[in-house]
Structure 1
Amino acid sequence: MTLAVARIDGPRVAIASDTLLTEHDKPLPIQNGVVKSCMVPGDICVSFCNSPETAGKALQEFVARYPRGAGFADVIAFFEKSSADTGNDYLIAFSSPARVAKIAEGKYTPSLSKTQWIGDRDAYEAFQFYAGRKKKRPQQGRAINAAMFMDELKDSPASDLYSAMRNVVLDRSVPSAGGFVTTISNRDNGFRYSVYSDMLFDWPAGEPEEYEFAYTDKISLQVSGENAKFSIAQISPGYMGLNLVAYYFSKARKLFFFHGDWIGLPLHCEVFENIPPAEIHYVLNRFIGQDLGWLLTILSPQAADAYLDQVQGIETPGSKLAFLCEANTFPPSAK
């Protein structure tokens, strides 16, 4: 199964989905998954659930028929027919103006909801519980995660969607979702993969498992054992609308690269072992055969110094954490 969730906030729209594939109700290895969202001409992002093969063919047909994109009515009609023919459900996000359409069982049903989803209902219920902090997170009592998104625009819902989805894919009681969390969001000129780095820090000493972390808590986060240097990052091409994405485990130095053809679903995964952070973009460029201006920031958690209640320039001190930037391809911010 699948879970894909899209959300609109003003002019911004983002989509988060899992990459899990199953065979005979058994999960396949993480590298055998697929990215379940595809950017197509017209500043449109299409997510699917059910069959990657038939969804991939439908997306290729759409691009061939509408190489410069299509209007809302034509897009809906095309994917309604595909849904009826294949049994796939689709979640279609439009960049400008921001809009999301859900097609299920061959039919588009208009909705005023800012959040829409396709896939497994149990997985979406878990997503809602995690989003509302009504369910114990998989790492609760052992670790606290801190996910940093590098260049999301104001009001982008990408980080909020990721924060709930990351727990769904880790939840062993939700077998219908798993793998990586793919996050895509719109900019003023279309869609692109988000760039994030998700780190694990130790559970605060002396706090019970029921403890709910808040950024205003006056604590200094530490790292040790399994959490030391652990992070996972999503890496995007620097160009809009390219259906290529990579994931990197900082502690294992392992790189997973999902790709297909230039305009189709990323149905294939290459795994690269023992890749230092500073070499990630070189490895990807060599594999592709050209420089795609990869956007990445690889962070690894570090133990913070003792907490200081008085910090010059900070009126309301909050939590303290430390991390090391092991690689970064973003240019310096303009002053």
Structure 2
Amino acid sequence: MTLVVGRVAGPRVAIASDTLLTGPGGQALPFQNGVIKSCMLPGDVCVSFSNSPITAGRAFKEFADTYRAGASFNEVVTFFERSSHSTGNDYLVAFANPAKLVKIADGKRVSSLSKTQWIGDQTAYSKFRSYETRHQPRAQNGRAINGALFADDLPGSPASDLFSTMRNVVADRSAATTGGFVTAVTNFDNGFRYSVYSDMLYDWPSGRPTDYEYLATDAVAFTATDENASFAVAQLSPAYIGLNLVAFYFTSAKKLFFFYGEGNGIADRCQVFRDVSATSICATLNDFVRTDLEWLLLITTPRSLDGLQPTPTIKTPGSQFSLFCEANTFPPSNGAGQQAKPTYRVINLEGLRSR
């Protein structure tokens, strides 16, 4: 099964989904046997599916062959209504400019005023809503707290918020219909591409109960030891807009999963690379695809303070994070000799509440 959730926020639209595929009897297949369930198509369109990756892949190829220069809004919706009717697939169609989101189920467009749309398993979406509204505790409560650092989150983009919730659904072992990696796709001014994030685990602050709710103004120093130290999962993307290529990297295991497809179609194939250092990721991927795709990545890992003490005096309330940057390929200058400053956001602190 599947869960895909999309959201529009002003000029921005983002989609988060799992990558799980199941075998006979509903058994979850390994990470490398999954599929990327969002596909970027001509005309600044990103279409996600639930049900069959085979028939969805055929539909995406037919669309790309038929509308090489893109299609009108009505043509896109009509095409995927027909595909839904003939295949039984549901689709979530996102438009980059202007930002729009359309759900197609049972062969028809679903009319809704909601800024959030979803397709896939109803039970999984119920868990998504429970995590988002904080009515369900995270699986790692009491043991770890996660913080995800997004390198390219544009102002107002819902990508990091959707990811923050979806990661908990995928990690929830009782949500058997979802699993694998969490993909996050967002629109930029000229189309769609995958987001760049590093999802880290920090130690649960000592002496705090599992149901403790943090305030955004709490002065807490977050560090990582034992199994949390140096652990992160990162998503990285080509710099080029509209490429259906995405990779995921486990920092502790130095394991790299690269998802790709045929002819820039649905990314339904996966190449696994082992013993890859963070600084070798770009070379490894470029050697495999035989071209330089100018990969965008930010690989950060949580660390201990290594004997150092937290800042003795904090002038304003807030949190302190101990992390190490393993690799960063974002441009060092903006073309005018000045240092570029990507938007870095630490999000998804468990139980975080603002006053």
Counterpart CA distance in 2 for 1:213 and 1:236 is 32
- The answer to whether the aligner puts 1:3 opposite 2:6 as a matched pair is no
TM-score by length of 2: 0.92
Tell me how far 1:319 sits from its aligned partner: 1.2
Unaligned runs of 5+ in 2: 339-355
1:248 is matched with: 249
Counterpart CA distance in 2 for 1:74 and 1:46 is 14
Counterpart CA distance in 2 for 1:263 and 1:216 is 45
Counterpart CA distance in 1 for 2:172 and 2:263 is 33
Tell me how far 1:221 sits from its aligned partner: 1.4
Tell me how far 1:156 sits from its aligned partner: 0.4
Tell me how far 1:77 sits from its aligned partner: 0.7
Deviates more, 1:125-134 or 1:177-186: 125-134
Counterpart CA distance in 1 for 2:21 and 2:248 is 17
* Inter-CA distance 204–333: structure 2 relative to 1 (3 Å threshold): farther
1:149 is matched with: 150
- The answer to whether the aligner puts 1:107 opposite 2:139 as a matched pair is no
Tell me how far 1:260 sits from its aligned partner: 0.5
2:51 is matched with: 50
Counterpart CA distance in 1 for 2:34 and 2:214 is 32
Tell me how far 1:317 sits from its aligned partner: 2.8
Counterpart CA distance in 2 for 1:48 and 1:126 is 19
Contact 1:16/1:165 (CA < 8 Å) preserved in 2?
yes
- What amino acid does structure 2 have at the position aligned with 1:70? A
Aligned residue pairs: how many? 332
**1:246-275 deviations in Å (ceiling 9; x for gaps):** 000001100000000242000001110000
1:173 is matched with: 174
* Inter-CA distance 215–251: structure 2 relative to 1 (3 Å threshold): farther
Deviates more, 1:216-225 or 1:116-125: 216-225
- What amino acid does structure 2 have at the position aligned with 1:65? T
- The answer to whether the aligner puts 1:228 opposite 2:262 as a matched pair is no
Tell me how far 1:222 sits from its aligned partner: 2.0
1:22 is matched with: 22
**1:224-266 deviations in Å (ceiling 9; x for gaps):** 1110100000010010000000000001100000000242000
Q: Give the percent of matched residue pairs that are identical in Structure 1 and Structure 2.
A: 57
1:194 is matched with: 195
**1:125-176 deviations in Å (ceiling 9; x for gaps):** 1111111111110111110001010012110000000000000000011101
TM-score by length of 1: 0.97
- What amino acid does structure 1 have at the position aligned with 2:280? E
Unaligned runs of 5+ in 1: none
Tell me how far 1:309 sits from its aligned partner: 5.5
**1:282-328 deviations in Å (ceiling 9; x for gaps):** 000000000000000100101234333534xxx52311111100111
**1:39-79 deviations in Å (ceiling 9; x for gaps):** 00010000000000000000000001100111111111100
Counterpart CA distance in 2 for 1:198 and 1:111 is 32
Counterpart CA distance in 1 for 2:50 and 2:110 is 17
* Inter-CA distance 74–21: structure 2 relative to 1 (3 Å threshold): same
- What amino acid does structure 2 have at the position aligned with 1:163? S
Counterpart CA distance in 2 for 1:208 and 1:306 is 23
Tell me how far 1:218 sits from its aligned partner: 1.2
Tell me how far 1:333 sits from its aligned partner: 5.3
SS in 2 for 1:320: strand
1:271 is matched with: 272
SS in 2 for 1:134: coil
Counterpart CA distance in 2 for 1:17 and 1:316 is 37
